[in-house]
Amino acid sequence: MVNLDWKNLPFGYEKTNYNVRCYYKNGSWGKLEISSSDHINIHMAATSLHYGQEAFEGLKAYRGKDGKVRLFRWEENAKRMQSSARGILMAEVPTELFHKAILKVVELNQEFIPPYGTGAALYLRPLLIGTGPQVGVKPSNEYLFMVFTSPVGPYFKEGFKPVDMLLCRSFDRAAPLGTGHIKVGGNYAASLASLKKGHDLGYASVIYLDAKEKQYIDECGPANFFGIKGDTYVTPKSHSILPSITNMSLIELVKDLGFKAERRPVHIDELKAFDEVGACGTAAIISPIRSITDESNDIRYEYCKDGKPGPVSTKIYERLLAIQFGEEPDVHGWVEVLDF
């Protein structure tokens, strides 16, 4: 195992030994290739550079208490990448190829999987880009699928501690009938200016409203939003929201705890009625929200008034981590234990 400060890893890029690649040409996918280079050669007229034909995923490999390595719900990542590919007319990565690639990249970089108990994991970034040259606006006929890795700590530097967020009315993340529901780079490019604004004002992230009416909660920065109201877990439903695999899992976990779960439009007026609110996603897992400040009228919604995450958020956060690290039984069949 490499010598890293595992407990203080940022959520960033750390070079590992290998990445894996596969090329789509002449209507079919080639063989999986192994590379030690951090770079790719790409045509200057590639559609990914000019017309945004790019999609990516994020998932993690966890080293459990028993020393075994686990992948969490990778099939959902494969499905979501296929949905993204369909959304912007790219060649879909077959599930079998996706699985083979992530297994190989984890196997090749085992020494970078953080030890159990450090709170860190090995992050996997599957990437699909159009590589064929086009000057007219049309899909590529060639694609590159690759997976690289990096050991990471928490996405928000605060970890599982309450953070402050800005309700952002001056920017839209995605159009109602646009690409908000798929994981493509253009959505994140559209969020950079607003995220910088939030960070410059001292907030951990921003919360977007729907682009059409500016009345309903949309995404929560790079994550999904959820709120706890009494015995109910509430998360927004919208065509412009990326379906989070973490959020999907939390919905099942709150049901296991006897709670109700609702996925529906969430009006901003409901913010004052929630007992707890948070952001959730693969990178952050759960980030409890301490306050939400509405930039347009100086309204501030406060939660976690004792300075600690809420009890329901804490329970589902700990339960999800326990499943991912093999500390509790995987009754839902979400985890694949790797054999190497």
Render the burial of 293-317: b for 16+ CB within 10 Å, e for the rest: bbbeeeeebebbeeeebbebbebbb
**Would you call 272 exposed, middle or buried from its count of C-beta atoms within 10 A (0-12, 13-18, 19+)?**
exposed
Tokens of 223: 């994550």
Residue with tokens 């083979």: 100
Q: Using the Cα atoms of residue 242, residue 244, residue 247 and residue 249 in order, give the sign of their dihedral.
A: positive
What is the Rg, in whole angstroms, of the alpha carbon atoms belonging to the chain?
20
**Other beta carbons less than 10 A from residue 275's beta carbon:** 15
Close Cβ partners of 113 (under 8 Å, ≥ 6 residues apart): 61, 62, 63, 69, 106, 121, 122, 151
- Among 57, 133, 53, 129, residue whose Cα is nearest residue 89: 53
The amino acid at residue 171 is F
Our answer to whether residue 183 is catalytic in this structure is yes
Question: Of these residues, 138, 183, 255, 315, which one is catalytic?
Answer: 183
Q: What is the largest CA-CA distance in the chain?
A: 60
Give catalytic residue positions: 183
